[in-house]
Amino acid sequence: MLFSSIEFIFFYLPITLGLYFVLSRWSHKWGIAWMAAASICFYGWWKAGYLVLLGASILMNYFVGESILDRKAAGSQRQAKRILTLGVGLNLALLLYYKYTNFLVGAANSLLGAHLPNPPIELPLGISFFTFTQTAYLVDCYARQVHRYGLLNYVLFVSYFPYLIAGPILHHNEMMPQFNTRKRHYFNVMDLGVGLTLFAMGLFKKVVVADNIAYMANLAFKESAGKELIPLYMAWKGSLAYTLQLYFDFSGYSDMALGLSRMVGIKLPVNFHSPYKARSAVDFWQRWHRTLSRFIRDYLYIPLGGSRKGAVRKYVNLGVSMFLAGVWHGAGWTFIVWGLMHAAYLMVNHLWRDLKKLLGFGPRVGGGLGDIVANALSCLVTFLAVNFAWVMFRAESLQSGATVLRSMLDLGKWRDYAQLNAMDIREMAVLGLLLAAVFILPNTQQVLRRYSPGIGLYRGERHFLLRGLVWKPTLGWALVAAVLLTASVLTVFTSFKSLEFLYFQF
């Protein structure tokens, strides 16, 4: 069941919310129990058989965490560490089997000439998210940074339906206290208004924008299969279409997740903040999939030593972290290359920062024309670098990705633009308008900033349009949300495409 499906919008959501508020007024625990049950049913709608997997994972991690806390309280450091190692190992083994077995067996058969059987293994929905969330929980149990809230709260923490299928990666200290606060479980008109507005904006981004430009990317990457080059304009149109499709798809999902949770008064971490406005690779990863970046920093990069063990070790740690970020997104050579490309971007970014510091160049102050031009160029270079990397992320194979990249750089073929037909021109105009919207307009978190739409709002900049585009609980904004929601629902009703969020495969 997708957030954008008719059954979710008109059946699952109103029933879940209605019973939640009714039961919560009767008993705080009954409200939590109902939300946990509804979340588990939401997951089981996809495939009931994998409820056993989700349930086993939740129970294993909960009792492993309890055992770690007990051993730490008793002063048994060594036993606590052994239990932590066992728990993390079981989580990684689960992820390795379902997500990477086919890739590893296929690679062995291809590279070593082996003939190992390799039947396809279906990837359980959201396995990366609930596995990473629980792995972080176990590590924090070992660090004694966890308060005990009981099994029921833990089940809801892991299975909470707004996050379960495509993130964000939750942290227990952000979520479990909210579940345990009674005042969060009463109906609140303001929470409902903020949540519905976020949901309407996100749904519009997904079904009206992202799904309707996907065909441009699909055509270009399909055309690249088995070829050395494709037309220059087709390569750029396809890469930009996918870059924008992924942006509006993930941004739309993130808004819907925030909105669905806010309807019941629970705030999720903000996971997406205008990443194409980033001025560097470091800035990009502080805006794109922010909770994944946080997880990699806190549970991988820093434990590896971060930047504390010298310059060489810092760059090695960056490379390892981004390599694993690529592997996290998918089991394939294209994802590995994508991760290594971003590792290179981050290394160059850090090297440039270190060089400026060595030469005595501090941060620039002021807002003159020179700063505006420098910021615009930084943003453009970062966007182009990210766009090139997305080509490998989208490609079905290394050959296909290399063909698209090679075609994008084949600038001697600029005369191909003379062959554009009216449809090509219209499509490029649409992409141009969407790019302008991405770079110029404030994002949804900025529009609803006064009402704190989520946890950890990005503090990086103030937007010049915010005075005129600030959400308020007025009739005008209610009409905007109604129009967006109506347009989105009509699009879903009239669509014959199979809708899916791109991050579901991770």
- List the catalytic residues: 329
Report yes or no: 261 and 268 within 8 Å, Cβ to Cβ: yes
Note the maximum CA span of the chain: 76
Report yes or no: 263 and 195 within 8 Å, Cβ to Cβ: yes
One-letter amino acid for residue 256 of the chain: M
Closest CA to 292 of 166, 449, 137, 159: 166
- Distance in angstroms (rounded) separating the CA atoms of residues 168 and 291: 6
Report yes or no: 334 and 395 within 8 Å, Cβ to Cβ: yes
CB burial of 426-446 (b: ≥16 within 10 Å; e: otherwise) equals: ebbebbeebbeebeeebbbbb
- Distance in angstroms (rounded) separating the CA atoms of residues 76 and 81: 9
User: Who's near 178: CB < 8 A, 6+ residues apart?
Assistant: 184, 265, 266, 267
H helices of 143-210, in order, are 151-159, 161-164, 172-179, 189-204
Report yes or no: 136 and 171 within 8 Å, Cβ to Cβ: yes
DSSP calls for 328-382: HH-SSHHHHHHHHHHHHHHHHHHHHHHHHHHTT-----S--HHHHHHHHHHHHHH
- Distance in angstroms (rounded) separating the CA atoms of residues 221 and 59: 43
